[in-house]
Structure 1
Amino acid sequence: MIRLIALDLDGTLLDPAGRITQASKDAIARARAAGVRVVLNTGRPIQEAVWFAREAGCDALLSCLGGAAVVDGVRGETLRRWDMPEESGRRALELCLGREIELMIFAGEEIVVDPFSKESLSRTYPFPIFHSAAVVAEDPRAYLEERGLPLTKVHGDWNQARYPLEELGALPGVQLTASNDHDFELVPDRVDKGRAMALIALLYGVPLGETAAVGDSDNDLSMLRAAGLPIAMGNAPAAVREAAQRTAPSNQEEGVAWAISRCLEENEWERGEKG
Structure 2
Amino acid sequence: MKLIAIDMDGTLLNDERKVTAENADAIKQAQKKGIEVVIATGRDDKEARIPLQEAKLSCPVISVNGAEIQTAKGEVLKVVSLDSSTVKKTMEILHKHDVYYELYTNKGAFTDNYERGIETVIDVLQSAGSNDSVEEMTRIAEERYEKGAVTHIEDYKALFNDSSIHFYKVLAFSRNDQSRNAAKDKLLSFSNLAISSSASDNIEITHKEAQKGIAVRQFAAQKGISLEDVMVIGDNGNDLSMFKIAGHAVAMGNAIKEVKEIANEITATNDESGVAKAILKQL
Which of the five TM-score ranges fits, normalised by the shorter chain?
A: 0.7 to 0.9
| Contact 2:60–2:72 (Cα < 8 Å) also in 1 | yes
TM-score, normalization by structure 2: 0.84
- CA–CA distance in 2 between the matches of 1:58 and 1:221? 25
Q: In 1, are the aligned partners of 2:10 and 2:254 still within 8 Å (CA)?
A: yes
Question: For residues 96 and 153 of structure 2, what CA distance do their matches in structure 1 show?
Answer: 13
User: Any stretches of 5+ residues in structure 2 without a counterpart?
Assistant: 122-139
Per-residue Cα deviation, 1:6-26 (whole angstroms, up to 9, x for no partner): 110011111122111111111
The question of 1:194 aligning with 2:213 is answered yes
Aligned to 1:151: 167
Give CA-to-partner distance per residue, 1:183-234, whole Å, 9 cap, x none: 1111111321011111222233322111100001111111111111111111
Local SS of the residue matching 1:231: strand
Percent identical: 28
- Comparing 182-191 with 122-131, which one deviates more in the overlay? 122-131
Q: Runs in 1 of length 4+ with deviation above 4 angstroms?
A: 56-59
Aligned counterpart, 1:225: 244
Is 1:139 matched up with 2:139?
Answer: no
* Distance change (3 Å), C-alpha of 1:49 and 1:95: same
Task: Quote the residue 1:105 is aligned against.
Answer: 103
TM-fit CA distance, 1:175: 2.1
State how 1:233-248 maps to structure 2 within 5 Å: 233-248=252-267
Paired residues of 1:71 and 1:80 also in contact (CA < 8 A): yes
How is 1:173-212 mapped onto 2 (pairs within 5 angstroms)? 173-212=192-231
Q: TM-score, normalised by structure 1?
A: 0.86
CA RMSD of aligned residues (A): 2.0
Q: How many residues align?
A: 259
Counterpart mapping for 1:256-271 below 5 A: 256-264=275-283
- Quote the residue 1:119 is aligned against: 115
Where in structure 1 are there 5+ consecutive unaligned residues? 265-275
Label 1:179 to 1:144 Cα distance change in 2 as closer, same or farther (>3 A).
Answer: same
Cα contact 1:28–1:57 (8 A) shared by 2: no
Call closer, same or farther: CA 1:32–1:130 in 2, change over 3 Å: farther
Q: Which secondary structure state, in structure 2, belongs to the residue aligned with residue 70 of structure 1?
A: strand
State the alpha-carbon separation in 1 of the partners of residues 173 and 98 from structure 2.
Answer: 10
Structure 2 residue identity aligned to 1:91: K
Shift of 1:121: 2.4
Equivalent position of 1:162 in the other structure: 179
